[in-house]
Homo-oligomer: A and B are copies of this chain.
Amino acid sequence: MAKILILGTGSMAVSHATAFAAAPNTELVAAVETDPARREAFGKQFGITELFADLESAIAWGGFDAVANVTPDAVHYPTTMRLLAAGKHVFCEKPLATSYPLALEMAETAEAKGVINMVNFTYRNSPALQKARELVMAGAIGDIRYFEASYLQSWLVSKAWGDWRTESRWLWRLSAQHGSKGVLGDVGVHIVDFASFAANSEVANIDSRLKTFHKAEGDKIGDYPLDVNDSAVMTAEFANGALGTISATRFATGHANDLTLRLFGTAGGLDVRTDGKVSSLKICEGPDIDSSSWKDVECPPVPTTYARFAKACNTGVNDEPTFRRAAEVQRILDLCFAQEAARALHAAAPVVTD
């Protein structure tokens, strides 16, 4: 029976608590929240009686095995390191940390401690993704040679999700000082993980280009400087040799929230799609190759990351996506940002006039 503590009680924590409350052999035993009113409300909502104002008090109490870390991004590192030191299993919201070196340190520490360490990459919950990977690993499409992966959103054009020009829930996502790392940090990480997980191979080489478009007078709306990337495009090579492209944008007019992954191998092709709710999978293989025909593939339901973490705590066997995996994704993000920083600083140079 895994005894779970919820660390942080913001909106995402509700998803965690709901999922863990429903998981077999799992018990919500405590929550940590600095704000008294929110702490009380959260405890009431989920019937949690052990409520703490800070992590140290909870650790002093000690009645939990595992933690769902739903703190703000910058707090993931110190809180998780403290929990690992205390020998607790940790399920951390993404991004694992704010930089690769920190994420790597978390992964190495968790592995050295031998505790369960997982990250909540929610798109792993897509049945089509899991089925695609299963097929890849079974050799159904042979050696992967080429791929195209994109995460398309359009909320910078569409009003289907509201008006980003006036709503703070969107404006903060456009502004570094409000904690955003742009489309790359927001959803780009998902498509990088998605593509590489399905292909069953790490990302080896990346050349990226990020771009922030002019969207308002003075590139600012109220307190929000609009300075983070709106689009991110990459060429990528996987460790298995496959070469392809990975993209994410908030300007894909005509797509609300669509992940598409196409994998092409020496024995077939796969086409994975999901909008985060419904996913689908097609395959072209065998005699269909010569006629370029594609068939639908049935994708059975899959356990969620929450369920897998709960199970891992009970079995003691770590599961995907691990901290190490999250660190690897963080490495790619940091690399994209470094490449873009170098490009921007170069572009700010005076012109040669010889």
- List A residues at the B interface (Cβ < 8 Å): 100, 141, 143, 145-146, 148, 150, 154, 157-160, 202-209, 211, 213-214, 230-231, 233-235, 237-245, 247, 249, 251-256, 264-269, 271, 284, 288-294, 331, 334-335, 338-339, 341-342, 345-346, 348-354
Q: Cβ of A206: which chain B residues have Cβ within 8 Å of it?
A: 346, 349
Q: Complex Cα distance A228/B51, Å? A: 43
A-side interface mostly: mixed
Q: Quick check: A289 and B235 within 8 Å, CB to CB? A: no
In the bound assembly, the distance between CA atoms of A237 and B209 in angstroms comes to: 9
Task: Report which of B213, B238, B252, B265 forms a contact with A253, defined as CB distance below 8 A.
Answer: B265
Among B203, B209, B264, B345, point to the contact of A243 (Cβ < 8 A): B209
Given the known A-B contacts A146-B231, A203-B349, A245-B245, are A264 and B269 also in contact in the complex, defined by CB atoms under 8 Å? Answer: no
Whether B346 lies near A205 (C-beta < 8 A) is yes
In contact, B294 and A254 (Cβ under 8 angstroms): yes
In the bound complex, do residue B346 and residue A289 qualify as a contact, i.e. CB atoms below 8 Å apart? no
CA distance A254 to B287 in the complex (A): 10
A211 smallest CB distance to B (angstroms): 5
Decide: B253 and A235 in contact? CB cutoff 8 A: no
**CB of A315, distance to nearest CB on chain B (Å):** 28
Bound-state Cα–Cα, A290 to B348, Å: 38
